[in-house]
């Protein structure tokens, strides 16, 4: 693996994956190409991620620059969005996706495990693991929607008006930001484990239509979760820490 060629490149490889994607979401495609986690594991330096994957960081940086040269839709400049608007977007788009799809995926996963489990025993483990994902996310979304996000919005309004933040909102943020990050990591680990069990969602030759649909939905779910967690870990939560409350330890 090549060493950084200059101070600018050396500085770039020291940035975290999450920083790159938070600054420009178009770079997410580069990291996905090389199997580098930009959401749950986004707090890792590019140099470390490249070393773990055996990828030349110079090549990654070149592809990042190429991605950033592509036209960008103003609607995807998430880092520039105001905190309340970003929170509403996450609830509407990503929480909405989970609520709409998780029950169907659970049902399909158990169905194909029952029908094909004797020939593909990994399906039973996938179904059980996705049950855990569904249960954990249900509680996680409720905590965000009922506790954290309302506190963020009230704190944002208070700060904009030059008022002191309510202590209950500060406590809600301090008590939940680190906890929710940990939960993101736990769910992310389970989703990654499902991908490994499913052999990157490759559909076997003896699969029925429901089998193929289930794997398609699991991959879609993973893709949505990556973007969802990125928006929270690398943008929303950082806005809360930097602008609404003193930095958390």
User: Does residue 2 lie within any of the structural domains?
Assistant: no
Domain co-membership, 96 together with 166: yes
**Span 50-79, pLDDT tens digits:** 888 888 888 888 888 888 877 655 556 888
Domain co-membership, 143 together with 230: yes
Residue 242 has a pLDDT of 76
Integer Cα distance of 108 and 130 in angstroms: 11
User: Does residue 132 lie within any of the structural domains?
Assistant: yes
User: Does residue 218 lie within any of the structural domains?
Assistant: yes
pTM over 0.85: no
- Expressed as residue numbers, the domain containing 217 is 81-244
**Span 198-237, pLDDT tens digits:** 999 999 999 999 999 999 999 999 999 999 999 999 999 9
Domain co-membership, 141 together with 65: no
Query: CB neighbours (10 Å) of residue 166?
Result: 13
Last residue of a domain, one of 44, 76, 108: 76
Residue 247 has a pLDDT of 47
The domain that holds 18 is classified in CATH as 1.10.3910.10
User: Does residue 249 lie within any of the structural domains?
Assistant: no
Least confident of 8-12, 151-155, 183-187: 8-12
Least confident of 26-30, 165-169, 240-244: 240-244
Domain co-membership, 25 together with 99: no
- For the segment 31-53, the average pLDDT, to the nearest whole number, is 81
Domain co-membership, 88 together with 71: no
Half-sphere exposure for 175 (CA within 13 Å, toward CB) = 11
Residue 248 has a pLDDT of 46
Last residue of a domain, one of 76, 100, 121: 76
Domain co-membership, 70 together with 109: no
Structural domains counted in the chain: 2
User: Does residue 215 lie within any of the structural domains?
Assistant: yes
Domain co-membership, 116 together with 192: yes
Domain co-membership, 94 together with 67: no
Domain co-membership, 181 together with 69: no
Domain co-membership, 93 together with 210: yes
Last residue of a domain, one of 29, 49, 76: 76
User: Does residue 118 lie within any of the structural domains?
Assistant: yes
User: Does residue 147 lie within any of the structural domains?
Assistant: yes
Helices 167-197, 149-160: axis angle to 10 degrees equals: 140
Residue 198 has a pLDDT of 97
């Amino acid at each position: 693996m090549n060493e950084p060629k200059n101070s600018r490149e050396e500085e770039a490889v020291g940035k975290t994956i999450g920083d790159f994607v938070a600054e420009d979401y178009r770079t997410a495609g580069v990291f996905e190409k090389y199997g580098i986690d930009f959401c749950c594991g986004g707090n890792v330096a590019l140099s470390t991620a490249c070393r773990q994957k055996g990828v030349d960081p110079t090549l990654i940086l070149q592809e990042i620059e190429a991605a950033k040269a592509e036209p960008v839709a103003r609607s995807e400049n998430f880092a520039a969005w105001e905190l309340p608007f970003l929170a509403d977007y996450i609830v509407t788009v990503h929480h909405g996706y989970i609520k709409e799809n998780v029950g169907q995926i659970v049902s399909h996963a158990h169905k194909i495990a029952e029908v094909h489990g004797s020939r593909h025993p990994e399906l039973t483990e996938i179904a059980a693991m996705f049950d855990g994902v569904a249960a954990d996310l249900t509680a996680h979304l409720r905590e965000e929607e009922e506790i954290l996000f309302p506190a963020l919005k009230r704190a944002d309004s208070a700060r904009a008006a030059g008022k002191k933040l309510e202590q209950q909102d500060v406590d809600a943020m301090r008590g939940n930001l680190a906890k929710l990050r940990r939960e993101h990591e736990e769910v992310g680990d389970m989703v990654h484990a499902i991908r490994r069990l499913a052999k990157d969602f490759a559909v076997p030759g003896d699969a029925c239509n429901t089998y193929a649909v289930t794997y398609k939905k699991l991959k879609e779910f993973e893709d949505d979760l990556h973007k969802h967690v990125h928006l929270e870990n690398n943008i929303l939560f950082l806005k809360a820490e930097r602008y609404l409350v003193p930095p958390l330890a």
